[in-house]
Amino acid sequence: MSRMGLRALAALVGLGALCGAAWADEEPLKIGLVGSFSGGAAQWGISVDAAFAAYQKQHGDSAGGRKIEFLRRDTTGPNPDIVRRLVQELISRDKVELICGIEFTPNALAAAGLSTQAKVPLLIVNAATTEILTNAPYTSRFGFTTAQIVTPFAKWAAKNGYHDVYAIYTDYGPGIEAGNAFKKAFTEAGGNVVGEVKPPLISPDYSAYIQRVKDAKPQAIFIFAPAADHPQIFLKAYRDAGLGEIGVKILATGDLTNESVLNNLGDPALGMITTFDYSEAHDSPLNKEFTKAFYATARDNTRPDFTAAAAYDVINAIYKIVDAQHGKIDPDRTMALIKGMSFESPRGPIAIDQNRDIVQNVYFRKVEKVGGKLENVEFQTTPMVDDHGNPTK
């Protein structure tokens, strides 16, 4: 072959290789996004979609040379059998390389089992029970655990004059975990749990429980309840019985005053002290950027809340993972990258430890009116708490 011919051939081969490479890079990276996009918990889906959209507006929709494609699957609420089927189909049929999302413990347990079986990394946004990660080497969590939020609170309460506390926690998985975590940490710190009740999930009336509290005359009530309707019902009964007047304070986790229900609680919520990992009022440049971007993409006047922040961090982590592996996802390498990951989140500094669980600041906040809007204003911080509620520093 002539020299010209050789060069032409080489060029053609080179071009072909380039095209081939480009072609391979163009195959999108499929990631399963599993969560509630309808039903009672649809707010979760709205927050996550808005957070993801905000991030992708800032950082584009590709990472590591590949286009990121999210396959949305709706769980419609805590439905572990639906989740199981959805995740199985995502892995088996759609061949996703990563899965993210998940908002409820039963769903997380169902998904984690499959993630372990099929060795597909799972990044959990919210589910808060510690045991989810126990036998799941490919599952990691970016939200928070109940023990993480409750334990510092319990210790703080014991040291700040709340000696006798009455515990009210809703009778379902997260509630029981919160109640147990509080009781354990509080009694260990020297406090006294004078009584407890577990209202069922559908409780239109709290007056019986409030009466019991009144009989016991504690200094404060520790309450954990699902954010939807319980906070309102509880506050009404609390006020009707005049507990505020006789000096019984309310200690709650941030679920009760989280941004998506805060407006509904209205002024009766002012002064409530809670602990949580994210507040819209958190004073950091990243959070200000995040909230601005969030409001631009969210609908229905949704405020950014802990779900949105965690989702933002998850997609950030995904982009980091894909970038670091140049678009070729290997499950074990992914998990190695996740363990020990640390970066700045809209909530503050966060890290993932060797147990694949989240380590973050736990903030103490008080509900105050800022600029005419109700906000959780942070007044104290316990830095870098691990998933069992113990400080790592």
**Footprint of other proteins (CB under 8 A):** 37-43, 46, 73-74, 76, 78-81, 84-85, 88-89, 92-93, 105-106, 109-110, 113, 117-118, 129, 171-173, 176, 197-200, 202, 204-205, 207-209, 211-212, 214-215, 228-229, 232-233, 236, 239-242, 260-261, 264-266, 300, 302
Pairing mode, strands 192-197 and 122-124:
unpaired
- Cβ atoms 103, 39 nearer than 8 A: no
CB of 237 to other proteins, least distance (A): 8
In the bound state with other proteins, the residue whose beta carbon lies nearer, of 57 and 217, is 217
Residue with tokens 């906000």: 375
Q: Which residues contact 331 (CB under 8 A, 6 or more apart)?
A: 119, 120, 121, 138
CB of 53 to other proteins, least distance (A): 18
CB of 66 to other proteins, least distance (A): 23
Token code pair at residue 301: 């006047």
339-354 burial, b at 16+ Cβ within 10 Å, e below that, comes to eebeeebbbbebbbbe
In the bound state with other proteins, the residue whose beta carbon lies nearer, of 203 and 390, is 203
> Phi first, then psi: what are they for 30, rounded to 5°?
-90, 125
CB of 335 to other proteins, least distance (A): 20
Residue with tokens 């199985």: 88
CB of 322 to other proteins, least distance (A): 25
Residue with tokens 């286009």: 67
In the bound state with other proteins, the residue whose beta carbon lies nearer, of 2 and 300, is 300
- Cβ atoms 261, 277 nearer than 8 A: no
In the bound state with other proteins, the residue whose beta carbon lies nearer, of 4 and 202, is 202
In the bound state with other proteins, the residue whose beta carbon lies nearer, of 209 and 319, is 209
Q: Exposed/middle/buried for 186, CB within 10 Å: 0-12, 13-18, 19+?
A: buried
CB of 269 to other proteins, least distance (A): 11
Rounded to whole angstroms, what are the CA distances from 272 to 114, 257, 291? 40, 8, 23
In the bound state with other proteins, the residue whose beta carbon lies nearer, of 196 and 323, is 196
